[in-house]
Amino acid sequence: MKIDTEKYKIKHPVLTRIVRSLNYYFLLFVRKEDPPQKIAHGFAIGIFVGYLPIIPFQALLSVVLCTIFKSNRLAGIIGSTTITNPIMAVPVFYVQHFLGRIFILHDFSYDNFKSIFSHVSLSSINTAGKDILILFEMVSIGGIIVGIISYPIAYYLALNAVTKRRERIAALKKARKNLRKKSE
């Protein structure tokens, strides 16, 4: 069964745009001239940085770390924005908060969080600042734990994707070359 792409594009323009942008970034990621190990290492660094709760600086930190470790910077940026995009940020940070609470023994529930921002006054800024710092520490520790666990998984998946894609392209080029030789 063949799907009429024009009807699909008209019926689902947002979904079509998302799929096309994902395909574009995947191809941009895979077609880099670097060796697959450098690309996979950069992507894994980006995934690790993506779990840190420094959203405005994740891409910058990813570029710096990829430069230090001599891996692919574009793959690092793609990896860092994969984790904390607007759709994934809340569930990711919730899991990190949960893991961080194991190591920092502080009761920081949703009610505490809600009370910090609902009753802001000059006298409560000091305690709110301490609570926000504790929350940041919890999410940071949880992010480091999740980042360490996900680093080898991301490395393996990226290395596998890039290697298989390049092998498929090499096989297609070889088949085309053999077809040209036969036709001559």
- Rounded to an integer, what distance in angstroms lies between the CA atom of residue 86 and that of residue 52? 15
Q: Are 98 and 144 in contact (CB under 8 A)?
A: no
Q: What is the 3-state secondary structure (H, E, C) of 67-82?
A: HHCCCCHHHHHHHHHH
Comparing 12 with 20, the larger pLDDT belongs to: 20
The string of pLDDT tens digits covering residues 41-88 is: 999 999 999 999 888 899 899 999 999 999 998 889 888 988 888 888
According to DSSP, residue 2 is labeled -
What is the arithmetic mean of pLDDT over 163-178? Answer: 88
Q: How confident is the model at residue 93 (pLDDT cuts 50, 70, 90)?
A: confident
- Written as one string, the DSSP assignment of 106-142 is ----HHHHHHHHHS--TTTHHHHHHHHHHHHHHHHHH
Residue-level pLDDT at 25:
73
Q: Cβ atoms within 10 A of the Cβ of 88, count?
A: 13
Give residue 121's pLDDT band: very low, low, confident or very high (50, 70, 90): low
